[in-house]
Amino acid sequence: MAPQDTSSGFWPAGKRAALSLSFDDARWSQTANGFPLLAARGVKATFYVSLQALEQKLEAWRRAVADGHEIGNHSVTHPCSGNFAFARRNPLEDYTLERMEKDELLAANAAIHRLLGVRPLTFAYPCGQTFVGRGENLKSYVPLVARHFLAGRGFMGESANDPTFCDLAQATALCCDSIGFDQMKTWLDHAAEQGEWLILAGHDIGPGGRQTTLAADLDKLCAHAMDPANGIWVDTVAAVAKYIKERR
């Protein structure tokens, strides 16, 4: 829960910016490497889970819920454009809005509630893509996310979010995989200068590799952001989105 707003600025308790850390797909390294790192720094993060991976480490994810981390919706089958070879058998181009709503958004919500006892408040677009169909029949499913969730998180964005203006249904996020501390600090410093909400999005957490947020650099970022002298509010996507919605 956000502290009481005691400043003349947008953020609570005189904070200069907000930071949300998010990680996709419920990967094993998040439970093995990420949970202890975040716990040591007192950071609560948002995890957009894939159901199959979630079930394989169910007790660890139940502990994550008990520890105050947010569990978000990332769909049932992770549909992306068929331009990705891995998505060719289940491409967004073949989806309708009705199918997306029923089979992906609502079905994932129900499964997460059944497995973890929580109802997701936010959603992360698989591959950061927000459409179904193709050509003249292409439609955005952002309105569906706006209908069912407090916020929708994008991917591979180019900026932080202006809390007075941003569309919560498609909040931008910068990818933190393979990104060093200096670059992440630069993004956070800029967000603090502008009074923005920086969302970082990663996958695995470890020493290196494809789609991996570097654990040592993530630890440095958490230490920097949690230092009260830097004026950063670190919280989940849901907590910050809720504050923004109420503050507006």
How confident is the model over 213-238, as a mean pLDDT? 98
DSSP conformational letter for 13:
G
Domain ranges in the chain? 47-243
Do 73 and 149 contact (CB within 8 A), yes or no? yes
Q: What are phi and psi of 24, to 5 degrees?
A: -105, 155
The pLDDT of residue 231 is above 80: yes
| pLDDT-derived band at 7, boundaries 50, 70, 90 | very low
Instruction: Tell me how far CA of residue 67 lies from CA of 6, 31, 47, 90, 178, in angstroms.
Output: 27, 12, 13, 35, 27
What proportions of the chain, in percent to the nearest 5, are helix, strand and coil?
Answer: 45, 20, 35
Q: Give percent above pLDDT 90 in the chain.
A: 96
| pLDDT-derived band at 245, boundaries 50, 70, 90 | very high
pLDDT digits (tens, 9 = 90+) for 10-64: 999 999 999 999 999 999 999 999 999 999 999 999 999 999 999 999 999 999 9
| pLDDT-derived band at 3, boundaries 50, 70, 90 | very low
Do 124 and 22 contact (CB within 8 A), yes or no? yes
* CA gyration radius, the chain: 17
Q: Quote the pLDDT of residue 4.
A: 46
| pLDDT-derived band at 1, boundaries 50, 70, 90 | low
The pLDDT of residue 180 is above 80: yes
Do 33 and 215 contact (CB within 8 A), yes or no? yes
Give the number of C-alpha atoms closer than 13 A to the C-alpha of residue 126, restricted to the C-beta side: 25
Spatial neighbors of 140 by CB under 8 A, at least 6 apart, are 130, 131
Q: Quote the pLDDT of residue 5.
A: 41
Q: Which CATH class is domain 47-243?
A: alpha beta
Do 12 and 233 contact (CB within 8 A), yes or no? yes
Global confidence as pTM: 0.96
Q: Quote the pLDDT of residue 2.
A: 53
The pLDDT of residue 6 is above 50: no
Q: Quote the pLDDT of residue 159.
A: 96
Do 235 and 242 contact (CB within 8 A), yes or no? no
CA dihedral for 93, 96, 102, 103, sign (positive or negative): negative
pLDDT digits (tens, 9 = 90+) for 139-168: 999 999 999 999 999 999 999 999 999 999
How confident is the model over 105-121, as a mean pLDDT? 98
Pairing, β 131-132 against β 139-140: antiparallel
